[in-house]
Structure 1
Amino acid sequence: MTSKRDMVHLYYDSKTGNVQRFINKVIQITGWHAHKIEDDLIIQEEGHLVTFTTKLGCVPDKTQSFMSRNARKIFSVTASGNRNWGKNFGLAANKISEDYDVPLAMKFELSGTMEDINQFIDIIKYQYNDSKRGSKKLDIA
């Protein structure tokens, strides 16, 4: 029998390896399924997006293209960034959330700390996993 935790799908984009390292730790702990975003990826399973912020606050081109094809199947967005960028820290997550009406789960710096990884797992498990929603926004009390 497949458990609920086995049904979580993470879609990620990583340029420098920071998001890849974050995802590797998450799947090591949870056993969730991770899929690296490729140019032509069209997803079958609903899931969560983890990406990075580039050019001082921009959404990466590959992530933007992925979302234009798959946004309706994405439950949440999380982004890596660098706090040295100030107000632009993890700004890709804000832009994706706004542009595609997808809830922002969290932001983390570089490849994240163990605290970030555990927080992400908790957010996905208890707030966004298997959410049945009538709209892109989730009603979380």
Structure 2
Amino acid sequence: MILYYDTKTGNVQRFINKVVQITGWTAVRIQESMQIEEEGHLVTFTTNFGQIPAITQDFMDRNSSKIFSVSSSGNRNWGRNFGVAADKISSLFDIPLAFKFELSGTMDDIYQFIDIIKNQYYDSKRGSKKLDIA
């Protein structure tokens, strides 16, 4: 299992570190102009009160065909814009929304995310919207 992720403040990095520690999955921080070979899941953040981060957008423009699902961190203080980058990515690239978590997530969030990726969408092909439970 590969998790591709983008982080700015470190919240997504902390979330990913916990997931990797528990599961042993591979995590790759996305970079500008990155082209991937292996399929995986995307975890990103929401910026500027509801925008997709520029590096995440560029990554998806290049690699969306290899991404099974999207998850996002956010801040509930943003109200309806909480984790909305995942909603936008899901809609723009027709990729299921797996999960939204606040800041770096709680341990319950970590285990719920693992359960969703492992049991509800592991090795599934795109096109299914059954992950839209966030």
TM-score range, shorter chain: over 0.9
Superposed CA deviations along residues 99-134 of structure 1, whole A, max 9, x for unmatched, are 000000010000000000000000000111111x3x
CA distance in 2, matches of 1:121, 1:114: 11
User: In the alignment, which residue of structure 2 is the partner of 1:63?
Assistant: 56
Establish whether residue 80 from structure 1 lines up as the match of residue 73 from structure 2.
yes
* Alpha-carbon offset, residue 40 of structure 1: 2.2
Structure 1 runs, 4 residues or longer, greater than 6 Å off = none
Superposed CA deviations along residues 55-106 of structure 1, whole A, max 9, x for unmatched, are 0000000000000000000000000000000000000000000000000001
| Structure 2 residue identity aligned to 1:137 | G
User: In the alignment, which residue of structure 2 is the partner of 1:137?
Assistant: 127
C-alpha contact (below 8 Å) 2:96/2:130 kept by paired residues: no
Q: What is the TM-score when the length of structure 1 is the normalising length?
A: 0.90
Establish whether residue 93 from structure 1 lines up as the match of residue 80 from structure 2.
no
CA distance in 2, matches of 1:25, 1:32: 10
CA distance in 2, matches of 1:44, 1:22: 24
Superposed CA deviations along residues 20-65 of structure 1, whole A, max 9, x for unmatched, are 0000000000000000000021111100000000000000000000
- The 3-state SS of whatever aligns with 2:105 is coil
C-alpha contact (below 8 Å) 2:96/2:129 kept by paired residues: no
User: In the alignment, which residue of structure 2 is the partner of 1:3?
Assistant: none
* Alpha-carbon RMSD: 1.2
CA distance in 1, matches of 2:38, 2:99: 21
* Alpha-carbon offset, residue 140 of structure 1: 4.0
Q: Which consecutive unaligned segments of at least 5 residues does structure 1 have?
A: 1-7
Q: Which consecutive unaligned segments of at least 5 residues does structure 2 have?
A: none
CA distance in 2, matches of 1:128, 1:43: 20
User: In the alignment, which residue of structure 1 is the partner of 2:46?
Assistant: 53
Establish whether residue 110 from structure 1 lines up as the match of residue 103 from structure 2.
yes
Query: How many pairs does the alignment contain?
Result: 131
User: In the alignment, which residue of structure 1 is the partner of 2:18?
Assistant: 25
User: In the alignment, which residue of structure 2 is the partner of 1:44?
Assistant: 37
User: In the alignment, which residue of structure 1 is the partner of 2:8?
Assistant: 15
CA distance in 1, matches of 2:14, 2:119: 23
- The 3-state SS of whatever aligns with 2:38 is coil
From the CA coordinates, give the structure whose radius of gyration is larger.
1
